[in-house]
Structure 1
């Protein structure tokens, strides 16, 4: 979609991309030196990418998938979430500084999940994996500020970098040459979170993952990584 045809909805706050909240505003302010006034849109997008990637811990366990729990402000307050949560935070953060964004969902095969997580997910296929697409320098690029650097070190996965000009998606292999993640099916890109489709789809595909209607099972990916090493 050419830049001049961008729907203004792609810049607006929403129920989930609640960037007008004080929590999101403070997060963005801390991520951008002096508010980013002297930065280009690409530089702002890159700075916010790393703020989300490394400033919010990636955690599948104990996640809140209620409508309130998926709001960007809630994830920032909790300091953790998985791909669905972190992509929302990034989409909200970039919109707050005038960068159009959308949210992508697709199914992936993850070859390096822990045995416990595989059991809860019902195998290696994870549905509704999420990332963010942003409009920079006249074109849409994909950004995945999901696995933080510490978790990547524990799982021996190369952290995904982002330069604002080329797509940043999961590397297919880890540091030891083992296959890590394959993209299997695209559900599409959305101006806002299609809540019922995403959460309903995750619940339907991975019922064992849920400890309650809106919360995933308790646990720790860091602890899982430690057990894998053992």
Structure 2
């Protein structure tokens, strides 16, 4: 018996603000197709490629983590981009929830490793979408331009198979290792994420994240562990 969706997976929350006018407009514009699967695929690609991945600009305030804030900013890191995907999916009538895992060998830079003092990224976010009777994982973090520029395999989503990070990049370098699955959540567990970030990344959080331009830094050293 699969883990069934509930009304909560279509509801608005402070972070997954599916009723916000800009979220509603984005869903209407991009949820194109004759089936939920086709509409979900279109939404995943629109969120993945329409918003620049930027882990240097992390705002853990409630306002900073809202789906509508990603729309307003035009960029986000993995958690708010996953939150945006959940919001627009719910706005389009597709049940959605947030999934989290701890990962190693994430796309990183020397600046991030020096400030974070670890290569472990906790609370990496993705989105679960309910399609054809099952939850399917979609990871909209890395936009296609970033993948093409730095030799990463883009994460495509077909609505049938889970779309999670590849273990290796296009050149065969080690890219991503999932070390801990934290499970699925009906809403963004912001208090827990914030507490864990301050516990694990104390120095980094004191400085409000890495300072500089992420794309400039990653161009010098595209993938952690090379």
Which of these residues, 149, 154, 161, is aligned with residue 159 of structure 1? 154
Aligned residues: 222
Match of 2:129 in 1: 134
Corresponding residue SS for 1:108: strand
**Cα offset, 1:203, TM superposition:** 2.2
Task: Return the TM-score normalized by structure 1.
Answer: 0.91
* Superposition misfits of 4+ residues, deviation over 4 angstroms: none
Residue deviations 1:16-55 (CA, integer Å, cap 9, x gap): 11011111112222323xxx4x521001100000010000
Aligned runs of 1:173-184 on 2, under 5 Å? Answer: 173-184=168-179
Match of 2:164 in 1: 169
Aligned: 1:222 with 2:215: yes
Aligned partners of 1:211 and 1:217 also within 8 Å: no
Distance 1:223 1:8 in 2: 43
Aligned runs of 1:26-37 on 2, under 5 Å? Answer: 26-32=25-31, 36=32
Match of 1:40 in 2: 35
Aligned partners of 2:99 and 2:128 also within 8 Å: yes
Distance 2:212 2:76 in 1: 13
**Cα offset, 1:209, TM superposition:** 2.6
**Cα offset, 1:207, TM superposition:** 2.0
Single out whichever of 202-211 and 135-144 deviates more from structure 2. Answer: 202-211
Corresponding residue SS for 2:191: helix
Match of 1:55 in 2: 50
Task: Return the TM-score normalized by structure 2.
Answer: 0.92
Aligned: 1:88 with 2:83: yes
Which of these residues, 61, 64, 78, is aligned with residue 69 of structure 1? 64
Distance 2:12 2:191 in 1: 19
Match of 1:103 in 2: 98
Q: Which runs of 5+ in 1 are unaligned?
A: none
Aligned partners of 2:140 and 2:155 also within 8 Å: yes
Q: 1:73 to 1:111 in 2, by over 3 A?
A: closer
Match of 1:10 in 2: 9
Distance 1:110 1:207 in 2: 20
Distance 2:157 2:71 in 1: 21
